[in-house]
Amino acid sequence: MNDSRKWIILGLFTATGLTFLIKLFMIQVLVSDYKIKAESNAIRSIKIYPHRGLIYDRNGKLLAFNTPVYDLMVDLKKVKIKDTLAFCNFLSITKAQFDKNMKRVKVRGKQPKAFLKQISRKDFAKIQDKLIDYPGFYAESKIVRAYPHKSLANALGYIGEISKKQLKKEKDTANYYQQGDYIGISGLEAAYEKYLRGRRGVKMVYEDARGNKKGAYKGGKYDTASVAGKDLISSIDLELQKYGEQLMRNKRGAIVAIEPTTGEILTMISAPSYDPNLLTGREFSKNFGPLLLNKTKPLYNRAIRSKYPPGSTFKAVQALIGQEENVISSQTVFACNKSLVKCHWHPTVDLQRSIQHSCNPYYFNVFRRIIYQNKLVDSTGGVSKGSDGKIGYEKWRQHLLSFGLGAKTGIDLNNEKGGNVPSLSFYNRKFGEGKWKFSNIYSLSIGQGELGVTPLQMANIAAIIANQGYYYTPHLIKGIGKNKKKLPEFIKKHKVTIDPQYFKLIIDGMEGAVKAGTVAGYAIMPDITICGKTGTAQNPHGEDHSVFIAFAPKENPKIAIAVYVENAGFGGTWAAPIANLMIARYLKGKTLRPSTEKMVIEKSFIN
């Protein structure tokens, strides 16, 4: 009986032991979930950041590339620092910086955080081998931008670390970005973010108690490769861009040049500007504040955001609308009656020569005829509800909208402003319905008053005239990825509401303006037929702005351009020479008037 009980007890112990052994075998060998959990303390997930897409100019010259940096990460659960002062000396930081950084990472949870950000490759090489002596610290490689040239900063934009606000706000990025990732903040870097960013990968590795890598986890079974972003081919001509920036040195304003037949932007200059490398890597936090507070506003892209009066450049558009509305013809002559509006001396003019000599009273009369539909109405006649003036004004405004005025052009940059073409309701609010007259709005006839246009819009106007009635949405990127595909919105032709037959006379007048009109003699370029229109935009805050739009050559135009130089006075004196030097450089590849170039470069309009 005793022997029987002994064997029963022994059997129970044996069975229990076998049960535990089998269970332990299953946990450690057969069931991978338990195994993964058991090994989790020895496995680290490493983010593999993709190479951001490169940006090239239209001739294959590099505009933006990548450079590696390293974030020094800290895992507070594993940190062991025996000598804090030695650690600070190792990283070339002060004890105060150490305390500040440790405090920052401690309040952000228990997950590994960046202790030091954006360490250059050169500086990282100095500390890489000694990191093994500091458990809990390891490096995470990232990619930041670098720019081989000091040009095109306002169009290229910059990248920066994504903010918590952006993570919450951007629905498109909610499933991709994580805190600490970089994102395009402005310019092309922001507008083409989804193409440039690529796709992040991950690598699972074993590590020992000191944080040293000991090989791939499960042979890389759970790794995912990063996918590089797509390269962009810009429409910008880098050499033309650099030349224009040189001409605009010590000046405020903008230059935009467009290839008329495609809408591709050849150059976009906002002056003053800045070196794009000032907002890369660790330089960003040091330089952004001073640039933002700089009184010359170098971060502000005047080419797409500044709303200027078009001045007399607008007369070309008025002449086209007047012909379309059948209120003037090529033979229409108006006396230069300076009692209507101020003007300079010039011969009596017909339509073509009104462009050549830029007669203000001529366009006072043209605009009045458009508004009142060719009826003889005194300038005190009303432009109110139910009147002929209201119908005429609405027709005039619709024509302007077809030229892309009063709205954003749709350029592939964020934060574009749309300019202003006032509506009837605007004047009704300003003066009271039925209480305003032609005498309240006549300044619109010569591109003043409440009209506001951006330099980009005026360059597009020049392109429309060059094309004799159509345009493509202006854009900076002509190809994406390996197949260099252009976005569909940039291959759609837009037609204005003016019959093509009416453009020839205006083009002849613009040719005359350059050869023997309002353009200064030193701005005329030999061997190139340039068609242009000067403007002097009134500025209530100081000296008038110098304005010029043009295209060339007259037959089969290759470039259309707009130049604004703030506080520089007459358009034919400063904006025209800048534009024509740009045209000559693009078409001929050289400077045709060195003395004019020297005069422009040396001139300053910034006190």
Q: Is residue 587 part of a domain?
A: yes
**464 and 597 part of one domain:** yes
Q: Is residue 285 part of a domain?
A: no
Which of 183, 212, 234 represents a domain boundary (last residue)? 234
Claim: this prediction has a pTM higher than 0.85: yes
CA 21, CA 3: separation in Å to the nearest integer? 27
Q: What is the pLDDT of residue 40?
A: 47
Identify the CATH number of the domain in which residue 115 sits: 3.90.1310.10
**209 and 257 part of one domain:** no
Question: How far is residue 516 from each of residues 349, 505, 508, 523, measured CA to CA in Å?
Answer: 14, 16, 12, 11
Pairing of strands 232-234, 55-56: parallel
Burial class (CB in 10 A: 0-12, 13-18, 19+), 116: buried
**397 and 466 part of one domain:** yes
Instruction: Name the residue range of residue 221's domain.
Output: 46-74+100-234
Identify the CATH number of the domain in which residue 423 sits: 3.40.710.10
Residue whose C-alpha is closest to residue 564's, from 428, 478, 421, 459: 459
Q: Is residue 591 part of a domain?
A: yes
Q: Where do we find the tokens 């590696």?
A: 68
Q: What is the pLDDT of residue 502?
A: 97
Count CB neighbours of 414 within 10 A.
15
Q: What is the pLDDT of residue 574?
A: 96
Q: Is residue 523 part of a domain?
A: yes
**210 and 335 part of one domain:** no
Q: Is residue 283 part of a domain?
A: no
**184 and 262 part of one domain:** no
CA 460, CA 120: separation in Å to the nearest integer? 43
Segment-wise mean pLDDT, segments of 10 residues, the chain, 607 residues: 65 70 62 50 74 95 92 84 86 88 78 83 84 84 88 94 76 67 92 92 72 69 84 97 97 97 98 93 86 94 96 97 95 91 88 94 94 66 61 95 96 94 92 86 94 97 98 97 92 97 97 92 91 90 91 97 95 95 96 94 90
Pairing of strands 201-207, 493-495: unpaired
Q: What is the pLDDT of residue 50?
A: 87
Which of 234, 263, 285 represents a domain boundary (last residue)? 234
Which of 234, 264, 293 represents a domain boundary (last residue)? 234
The tally of domains found in the chain comes to 2
CA 370, CA 232: separation in Å to the nearest integer? 45
Note the pLDDT tens digit of each residue in 192-210: 999 999 888 888 777 665 5
Q: Name the strands in the sheet holding 43-48, side by side, starting at the edge strand that comes first in the sequence.
A: 43-48, 201-207, 213-216
CA 92, CA 427: separation in Å to the nearest integer? 64
Q: Is residue 282 part of a domain?
A: no
**324 and 180 part of one domain:** no
**355 and 211 part of one domain:** no
**162 and 251 part of one domain:** no
**190 and 253 part of one domain:** no
Tell me the β-bridge partners of 207: 213
**314 and 392 part of one domain:** yes
CA 91, CA 122: separation in Å to the nearest integer? 13
Q: Is residue 22 part of a domain?
A: no
- At 68, which amino acid appears? P
- How wide is the angle at C-alpha 283 spanned by C-alphas 280 and 285, nearest 5°? 105
Q: What is the pLDDT of residue 86?
A: 87
State whether residue 500 is helix, strand or coil: helix
CA 45, CA 14: separation in Å to the nearest integer? 42
**189 and 243 part of one domain:** no
Q: What is the pLDDT of residue 289?
A: 92
**408 and 480 part of one domain:** yes
Q: Is residue 3 part of a domain?
A: no
Count CB neighbours of 394 within 10 A.
13
